[in-house]
Chain A
Amino acid sequence: MTAEAPLHRRLALTDPEFDLIAEKLGREANHSELAMFAAMWSEHCSYKSSKVHLRTLPTRGPRVLVGPGQDAGAVDLGDGVACVFKMESHSHPSAVEPVQGAATGVGGIIRDVLSMGARPAALLDPLRFGPLDDPRNRYLFSGVVSGIGLYGNCIGVPTVGGEVKFAPCYGPNPTVNVMCIGFAPVDGLLSGRRGSAGDELLLLGAFTGRDGIGGVSVLASRALEADGHESRPSVQIGDPFAEKLLVEACLELAARGLLQGIQDLGGAGLTCAVSETAARLGLGVELDLGRVPLREPRMEPLEILTSESQERMLAVVRPEDVEAAIEVCARWGIAAGPIGSLRSGGEMVVTSEDEVVARVPARALADEGPVYRRPMERPGWLDQVRDDDPVRRPLPASLEDAFYKVLGSANAAGKRWVYEQYDSIVQGQTVFGPGADAAVIRIEGTVKAVAVSADGNGRYAHLDPYLGGAHSVAEAARNVASVGALPLAITNCLNFGNPERPEVMWAFAETVRGIAEACVALGTPVTGGNVSFYNESGGSAIYPTPVVGMIGLLEDYRLLVRPGFASPGLTIYLLGRTLPELGGSEFAEVVLGTVSGTPPSLDLESEARLHAFLRECSLRDLLASSHDLSDGGLAVGLAECAIAGGVGFTATIPSDGLGPHVALFSESASRAVVTGRAGRESELEALAAEHGVPMTRLGLTGGSQLEFTGHFAVPLADALVEYEGTIPRLMSAALVSG
C-alpha cells in the first residue's frame, strides 16, 4: 500500500463501502467519520461476511434469556439465577504480541459478561498453535499461556478449562479463543434496552490513550503480513488490577440500581460503545470528546473515537443518579465522569472544543453496515484427500508403540503444564477444575452447578466442515453430559481464513450448517458467539476451526460423575458403537502421518440418547466414573480414566470385525467409557437397553497395568509419564535451545 492511496483504503474500507457511506450521509465523510465507519464496518465489528449464514442458527429455547446481538448471551438456570456466557477470539493480537494479546483477550471477554450485570465466575481458553519443535511456536504458546494467567490470576476469575491443540497450519496463525461465564440474578440482567433521552453517558475506568488504534480494522480484519511485528502499536496493554476494580464498581452500581445499562469498550472503542448503545435504544447521542480523560496530550478526535484502551466501560445513568454513581466509583478508585448524553432523533453528534467533528446516524454505524453474500466454492483438492481412507493403510508399528505415540502426542497428552499456571479455584466454587471432560462451577449458596466445556476439531472441519461443525457441538455436549449435566445452550467462536476466498467461505457456510443441525438435534440453542476471519498469512489459512462452548446444568453437584477410575474391581463398559473411522484421527496423524479420509460419521439421535442416558445414570447415582471418547479413541480414553483415578484396568477390546488398531484408535462419535457402581450393574445395563444405548462390558478396573487383553499391557506409571511428560519435555527443550 502506497502513501498516495486514498484515506478510506488506508483505513481498510473498499471503494463501494466508501460510496455507501457518502450515500448514508448525503455527503462525503470527513476524516473522523471515515475512521468511525472503518472501525464499525470492519469484518470484526459488523460480521458483514458471516451475517447471512449466522442467521440460520437456532437461537430460541425455553431457557434462553438473552440471545445473539448483545455483549453476551444468557440462559435461565432456575431459582432466579441466570448464567451469562460468551466466547471470543483474540488471535491476531496474540500472534503479534502473545502475552498482552492473550491478556487483553481475557480482559475483553470478562467485560462482555460484566456488561450484562453478571459477576464473571470462570474462564476457559481454547488455544491452537503450531508444533512445539519450532522455537517460535514455543514462544507463542508460553507467551499466550502466561498472558492468560497474568490477567485471569490477577483479576480473580478462575480459569477452569479449555483445550490446546497443535497443527502446522496454526504456526503462523495461532488461534486464541477466550470464554467467560458469569452469574446474575435473572431480574438483575442488564440487557441494554433501558435508557431514554436525557440520560447521561458515563465513561468509567482507565484513561484513553493511543493504544489499540485500528485494532479491529487493521489487525482483526486482514490477513497477517510477514511484518506483523510492525502492528504492535495496534495491540493494547492490559491492566488486570484496574479491571478488578472496574468489575467491583460496576457490580455495585448494578446492585444499587444506578444503571440503566452498561457496555464495555472493546473493538472500535468509544465509537462502537456509544453508537451501539444509542442504536439499540433507537436514540441519538451527543458526545463531547473534551470530557474524555486522556492519557496523553493532543490526541486527535479520531484517535479518541477509535482508541481501544482497555479497562473502560460506558454506563447509561439517569441524571439524578450521576452523583451517586460517581461516588461508588470513587470508593473503588475508579475514574468516572459524564462524556455525553442520549437525545431524541438518531444522530450521533461528536464535538471537540465546541466544534462538531462528526455527525452520523448511530444506526448507520451500528446496524447498517454492508452485508455480503460472498462467493463460495467447494475446494477441488478435497475429494482426493477424502478418498485416502487411513483405515486402508497398514499399521507401521506395534500396537504398543502406536499407543504410546498417540497418548504422548501433543494433542492427546495431558495439559497440566498449561493449567497449573492458572488459578482455577479462586472464588471458591470450582467443584471440578481443569483436566476433566467438563469443568463444574457451583452456584453459591445452592446445590446447583454449571458444567462447561469448550471443544473443536480443526482436522475434522478441514476434511468435512459440515461434520466438523456438528462434531464440535456434539463433543461439547457429550463432555457436559459425561459429568451428569443437561446440555443447555452454546456460544461459539468460528475461526477461519480469508472470507474473500470462495473455498474459505464455503467451509464457513458448511460449518455453520453443521452447528445449526447439531444444535437443533441436541436442543442447545446458540446464544451468541464470535467470528474470526483472516486467520491466514502467506496464502496459507488455518483449518476451519469452529470452537463450541457448551453450558450444562447440574441440579445437584453432589451427583456429578468424575472421569477417573475410582477403585479396583469395578466393571468397565463401552457405551456406543465403534466403526472403522480413522479419518482425521489423532492416530492417523501421528502414527500413519496422514490427515485424510472422512471424519467419523455422526448420528445425532444416537448422540442425544447417549446424553439422556448419562444424565439419568447420574441422577440415579449408577456410575462410579464416566468419560467421553474423542481424540485417540478407546485406547486413550481408557488410559485417561486410569491416569485420572490412579487405578489400572484389564480390558478386552471388542473387535466387531475391525483390526485391533482400528478398534483401539477409531474416533467414532457418541461413545463413552463408564464404570458402574458396584452391585448395580444389572440396573445400569437395563437402563442402557431402555435408552437404546449400545453397551459392551470391557473388563474390570484394578492393578497397576493398563492391560489390553490379547494385545499388550503397559505399566500405569509409564503411561502417566508419557501422558503428563510430553508438554513439559517439549517446553523444556525451549529453555535449552532458546
Chain B
Amino acid sequence: MKPRVGVVTFPGSLDDRDALRAVAVMGGQPVPVWHGDAGIADADAIILPGGFSYGDYLRTGAIARFAPVMTAVREFAEAGGPVLGICNGFQVLCEAGMLPGALIRNRSLSFVCRWVHMRAEGDGGEVLEVPIKHGQGQFVASPDDLAAIEEQGTVAFRYCAPDGSLDERFNPNGSAHGIAGLRNRAGNVLGLMPHPEHAVDPDLGPTGGHHVFQWLLTAAGQRVPA
C-alpha cells in the first residue's frame, strides 16, 4: 500500500497543489487536509506547503500555527510521525516551536526566485539543485540555539556552491551558517526554505527534490501497517 501523505491547505497556501502532485509523482498517495479540520485523515506523513498563509501580513506563519489542524499535526509529530515544512511550512514549524529559530527578511530585502544548490548534511554530502522563492528566508537563531543545532547535528541542508563547497556568495538570503533546512532532535520533523516539490519533474528542471521526498516517503512507509 502506498503511504498516505497529507498536504495541509491553509488559507493562502499556494504550493499545496504542487506538493500533492509531487507526492503522486514520487509514488505516495496524496491526501488533501483542510486547515479547519481537527484530524489529519489517517495520513502517514504530513506536508505543510509553501505560500503566504493568512497573507503573512503579521509574521510569516504566525497565524497558521493556531489553525485547528495544527493540534493534530503537533500530536502526530510528537508520536514520531514525519512532518515536512516547505518554505511557509518551515516558517509555520518555527512559529509553532516545533523547530528552533526563525525566518526573517532576506538580507537583500528583496524577494528572490532562483535555482540554488544545497548540500545534504551528514548524509554523504549529496549536492541537490532546487529552487527557492521567498522574501523571508533568512534563518536566524540565538547563539545558544545555533550552538545546540550544530552540536546535535540537526542541520539538514546548507546552501553551497555547485561543487558542494560552503561559500557565503552562494547563500541567497543570508541564513546563519548557510542553513537551508533543519530537523528537530528526533529527526522526524524537517523544515526547509527551498522547494523540493518543484524539483521532481525532469521536464521542468533539475530533480534535487527527489532526495527530500524519498526521505519523507520512506519514513511514512514505515508507519504503513503491514
Contacts and interface: CB of A to CB of B under 8 A. Distances in A.
Interface string B48-60: 0011101111000
A421 B204 contact: no
A421 B112 contact: yes
A422 B11 CA distance: 21
B133 A154 contact: no
B121 interface: no
Contact of A245 (B11, B112, B195): B11
Given A154-B55, A427-B18, A428-B21, A420 B131 contact: no
B203 interface: yes
Contact of B11 (A333, A420, A430): A333
Contacts of B95: none
Interface residues of A, number: 29
Question: Residue among B15, B50, B56, B133 with the most chain A CB within 10 A?
Answer: B133
Interface in B176-226: 195, 197-198, 201, 203-204
Contacts of A17: none
B12 interface: yes
B14 interface: yes
Contacts of B11: 241, 244-245, 332-333
B133 A425 contact: yes
A239 B18 contact: no
A244 B14 contact: yes
Nearest to B21: A428
Nearest to A423: B133
Interface residues of B, number: 29
A241 B18 contact: no
A425 B131 CA distance: 9
Contacts of A333: 11
Nearest to A433: B113
A425 B15 CA distance: 10
B133 A153 contact: yes
Given A149-B111, A241-B55, A421-B110, A426 B204 contact: no
A333 B12 CA distance: 11
A333 B34 CA distance: 13
Contacts of B113: 419-425
Given A154-B55, A239-B55, A423-B133, A428 B18 contact: yes
A263 to B, nearest CB: 24
Question: Residue among B21, B113, B131, B204 with the most chain A CB within 10 A?
Answer: B113
A540 B50 CA distance: 46
B57 A241 contact: yes
A426 B110 contact: no
B114 interface: yes
A241 B203 contact: no
Contacts of A332: 11
B61 to A, nearest CB: 14
Interface in B110-153: 110-114, 131, 133, 135
A156 B111 contact: no
Nearest to B114: A420
Nearest to B57: A241
Interface string A235-257: 00001111011000000000000
Contacts of B50: 426
A422 B114 CA distance: 9
Interface string B22-57: 100000000000000000000000000011101111
B54 A431 contact: no
A154 B52 contact: yes
B174 to A, nearest CB: 15
B83 to A, nearest CB: 22
Contacts of A155: 14
A496 interface: no
B105 interface: no
Interface in A583-636: none
Interface in A400-432: 419-428, 430-431
B130 to A, nearest CB: 11
B14 A241 contact: no
A244 B204 contact: no
A156 B133 CA distance: 11
Interface string B1-21: 000000000011011011001
B52 to A, nearest CB: 5
A41 interface: no
Contact of B197 (A153, A240, A428): A428
Contacts of B57: 241
Contacts of B203: 431, 442, 557-558
Contacts of A557: 203
Contact of A156 (B14, B21, B56, B131): B14
Interface in A352-366: none
Given A428-B197, A557-B203, A240 B111 contact: no
A424 B14 CA distance: 13
A426 B15 contact: yes
A70 interface: no
A149 B55 CA distance: 14
A520 to B, nearest CB: 36
Nearest to A142: B110
B12 A241 contact: yes
A426 B133 contact: yes
B204 A241 contact: no
Contacts of B204: 425, 428, 430-431, 442
Contacts of A149: 111, 135
B131 A153 contact: no
A703 B69 CA distance: 57
A444 B52 CA distance: 23
A149 B113 CA distance: 10
Nearest to B12: A241
A422 B113 CA distance: 6
A705 interface: no
Contacts of B195: 425
Nearest to B131: A425
Contacts of A242: 55
B220 to A, nearest CB: 21
Interface in A429-453: 430-431, 442
A420 B115 CA distance: 10
A153 B131 CA distance: 14
Contacts of A423: 111, 113, 133
A156 B49 CA distance: 12
A516 to B, nearest CB: 37
Contacts of A426: 14-15, 18, 50, 133
Given A245-B11, A558-B203, A428 B112 contact: no
A427 B56 CA distance: 19
Contacts of A532: none
A668 interface: no
Contacts of B197: 428
B12 A427 contact: no
Contacts of B54: 241
A427 B17 contact: yes
Interface string A673-702: 000000000000000000000000000000
Contacts of B110: 146, 420-421
Contact of B55 (A240, A430, A558): A240
Nearest to B53: A241
Contacts of A430: 204
Interface in A634-653: none
A242 B57 CA distance: 11
Question: Residue among B11, B17, B112 with the most chain A CB within 10 A?
Answer: B11
Contacts of B17: 427-428
5 contacts: A240-B55, A420-B112, A422-B111, A425-B195, A431-B204
Q: Which 5 A-B pairs have the closest CB atoms?
A: A241-B55, A156-B14, A428-B18, A154-B52, A423-B133
Given A423-B111, A424-B133, 15 more contacts: A146-B110, A149-B135, A153-B133, A154-B12, A156-B15, A239-B55, A241-B52, A241-B54, A241-B56, A420-B112, A423-B113, A426-B14, A426-B15, A428-B198, A442-B204
Interface of B: 11-12, 14-15, 17-18, 21-22, 50-52, 54-57, 110-114, 131, 133, 135, 195, 197-198, 201, 203-204
